[in-house]
Structure 1
């Protein structure tokens, strides 16, 4: 599981560490950020201590109006055992009371030059991406005409060979064998390769090949949103396969459902071309053009109602 610590945020946004250096290894477990305005006024009943605390001009200007004793008390309460980090925006001066409390409780205090709103937005996006639910699936992820196609199926069915043929046609490989998937939003799945397997493809009989070295940097990409799943399976003559495309199957990954197609594989079928057409047809459907529904409508128009037959 991907974890984020205060030091990661400090390095990502080039923040200045002012105090509480011993706590830079504290874990950040939520993407929510707190602006402790009520806490500055003394209300700690529902203090979200597990969040990153962001202090801006408003909070610090109010803090300066407090008596000395209350200043020390508020900052001690703010620097709890659960607080992962406290960040000061606009490169404002850090109150001495906060420095003392952070060193005492080992809570890192960081400073950014960005405005409060801008930094809050950037930090939220960063944490949501890093802390998103993650899983891994055995398959191949390829960018086909801008569509992230996840190819799955039993071992040996030809997933990697199909991906290689797609790359030769100008499409881009994202991951082979193991695809790490992160849910970055509602129905938003992003796939990327494990660091060990990045740019690599395994072909039985040849071994491991480096796609970027063989075909260039344009043949790979580091991540891609998954919008279509294609399952390859050996042709079963006793199984019924959809011939019209009116029924849409879904596959659930984490909390998102993705459109899934099942393609039977047998000698003579050009699977890479079928996947190309499936990706283009998926794009057309999203644009409102559905060939299966149009065919069904034409068929209905050609059928003669029973009451018209009785008239002859």
Structure 2
């Protein structure tokens, strides 16, 4: 994990209505752990298990405790706290930093920010934001679609028909996530989420036609900002090295960002409606997620039929 306070400030400033109170020279400090800490025990002087690598949040309890201390004692406790070199402090409920904290924040270069949000809500939403900012990312070649809740990435060599297949599926009511290049990130749960880059979002390139803006042609329902990745479909030429290991033998898997995703290879041949086959493959994968596996069902029927014949 490598997240600077400046990066968090830039992403959280507007949605969380953050304002800088002090310590503006410490924006290069690094937040080394994803979780957020409320330093109640640390303010009492107990530092044995102090999570100093995390973003620190002062809520009503911390403010009430500091207010109960006399000026010299409050300054001593806050100095002990700041000497641990915490990355940054956020004050919830729009509370202003005490004068002692402002001075210490400037001295130790610790950014102090305030938000009007209540403490628990800020912690929940900021934790999600930090998870997103620190999630492992990778850019891969492939066109991604949301097909009835199934995130499908279509890959293949240049000119094999990825975008054309995706365009046909969009005409049938499915949604485009990205064309040709997909940005993947891995969530804390281990699931992959795909999206388009900012520059190419909502656009597609069709050979012979050029660049098209998908929502202008097919409406806003034809696009989606991001989608979990559930299936990778590789379009391959007949007789190629990979061809022949398709759905008839069951899908294999591919590893992306240390997560495994089901993968199916579909040979592309003249006259073959690839959009239909991709659609059937995606819907078949959805059935598997629901516990219905057609191949296993057929195997069980065949085994049962053979057993009956052997008994006779």
TM normalised by structure 1 equals 0.89
1:296 maps onto 2:299 in alignment: yes
What corresponds to 2:199 in structure 1?
A: 196
1:100 maps onto 2:117 in alignment: no
- Give structure 2 stretches of 5+ with no counterpart: none
CA apart distance, 1:45? 4.7
Q: 1:280 aligns with which of 267, 278, 283?
A: 283
What corresponds to 1:259 in structure 2?
A: 262
CA shift digits 1:230-273 (9 cap, x unpaired): 1111011885444645x341111112111111111111211111
What corresponds to 1:151 in structure 2?
A: 154
What corresponds to 2:33 in structure 1?
A: 30
Question: Does structure 2 retain, via aligned residues, the 8 Å contact 1:19–1:103?
Answer: yes
What corresponds to 1:179 in structure 2?
A: 182
Q: What secondary structure is seen at the aligned counterpart in 2 of 1:119?
A: helix
1:2–1:279 CA distance, 2 compared to 1 (3 A): farther
What corresponds to 2:253 in structure 1?
A: 250
Question: Does structure 2 retain, via aligned residues, the 8 Å contact 1:160–1:202?
Answer: yes
CA apart distance, 1:55? 1.0
Question: Does structure 2 retain, via aligned residues, the 8 Å contact 1:7–1:24?
Answer: no
1:226–1:302 CA distance, 2 compared to 1 (3 A): same
What corresponds to 1:111 in structure 2?
A: 114
CA apart distance, 1:189? 0.9
Question: Does structure 1 retain, via aligned residues, the 8 Å contact 2:89–2:110?
Answer: yes
1:88 maps onto 2:91 in alignment: yes
What corresponds to 1:15 in structure 2?
A: 18
Which stretch shows the higher mean deviation, 122-131 or 203-212? 203-212
Q: What secondary structure is seen at the aligned counterpart in 1 of 2:187?
A: strand
CA shift digits 1:131-168 (9 cap, x unpaired): 11111110100111221101112222211111111112
Question: Does structure 1 retain, via aligned residues, the 8 Å contact 2:154–2:232?
Answer: yes
CA distance in 1, matches of 2:237, 2:36: 50
1:7–1:291 CA distance, 2 compared to 1 (3 A): closer
Which stretch shows the higher mean deviation, 278-287 or 67-76? 67-76
What corresponds to 1:132 in structure 2?
A: 135
CA apart distance, 1:85? 1.9
CA shift digits 1:98-121 (9 cap, x unpaired): 111112233222222222222111
Q: What secondary structure is seen at the aligned counterpart in 1 of 2:17?
A: coil
CA apart distance, 1:274? 0.6
1:142 maps onto 2:141 in alignment: no
TM normalised by structure 2 equals 0.89
What corresponds to 1:236 in structure 2?
A: 239
What corresponds to 2:53 in structure 1?
A: 50
- Give structure 1 stretches of 5+ with no counterpart: none
The size of the alignment, in residue pairs, is 308
